[in-house]
Amino acid sequence: MNAAPSTAKPAFVLVHGSWHGGWCWKRVLPLLLAQGHDAYAPTLTGVGERAHLMSRDIRVQTHVDDVLGLIEAEELSSVVLVGHSYAGNVITLVADQLEQRSPGILRHLVYLDAGIPDPGGSWSSPHPPEVVAARIEEAKATDGLSFPPPDASVFGLEGADRDWVNRRQTPQPFRLYQDSLDFDAGRVAKMPRTFIDCTNPPLATIDASRVRVRQEPGWQVFEMNCGHDPMINRPEELASLLLKVGAQG
């Protein structure tokens, strides 16, 4: 039986993208908490302060389990699930699996300048061939364990923001990049979904998502005039958008 719609304020679960960690939401979390919401920013296995857990065994499902574990441990019952960049893949699988386990817990899915997977595809599937080739080549330096972060300037960051992100980024587990993503697309498509498009400068690996959300039915789209990491240099604007989405029910 589906859970009854909750009248309580939703909890936000913010899932970071590649090379980042829960640290990247440091400027957004207090803005959500100040409005009376619960808000969580887990760090996925193998990166950030959990970089010591780096392993060839880390798969997308490992990160799905990280997020499911948080939702279940905190006993959340009304969740706005936000996935940044790579984590668009993670929240898609979380949504599919959580809806089977505990229908009605997810209130909204937010893809923050994020990848949108197809069943049987991978994180790398929509990327330009030259990006795929470059990441495969980079991973050879660690015998396929991980690939290094880019300079944060590619995310539209400058000055102290760029320096902060460059200091904090850690290598990304490589197996995730070509891991097959299996889920029921129809089940996920029934959920309210929002895409936040960061347009200045646009990150090339998100181009396929930008086109897709404007062609497929069921998507709400917002644009932000900033680069790929608005939680760093546009936290107030991003928090305002998330609160708007959370209020939609």
pLDDT digit string, tens, across residues 1-41? 344 444 578 999 999 999 999 999 999 999 999 999 999 99
Q: Which pLDDT belongs to residue 7?
A: 54
pTM of the model: 0.95
**Is 85 an active-site residue?**
yes
Question: Which one from 18, 77, 78, 85 is the annotated catalytic residue?
Answer: 85
Cis geometry, peptide bond prior to residue 201 (ω within 30 degrees of 0): yes
Best CA proximity match to 182, nearest among 117, 113, 227, 239: 117
Question: With bands split at pLDDT 50, 70 and 90, how would you rate the model's confidence at 144?
Answer: very high
How far apart CA 92 and CA 87 sit, in angstroms, is: 8
CATH class of 11-246: alpha beta
Best CA proximity match to 183, nearest among 103, 81, 89: 89
pLDDT digit string, tens, across residues 170-211? 999 999 999 999 999 999 999 999 999 999 999 999 999 999
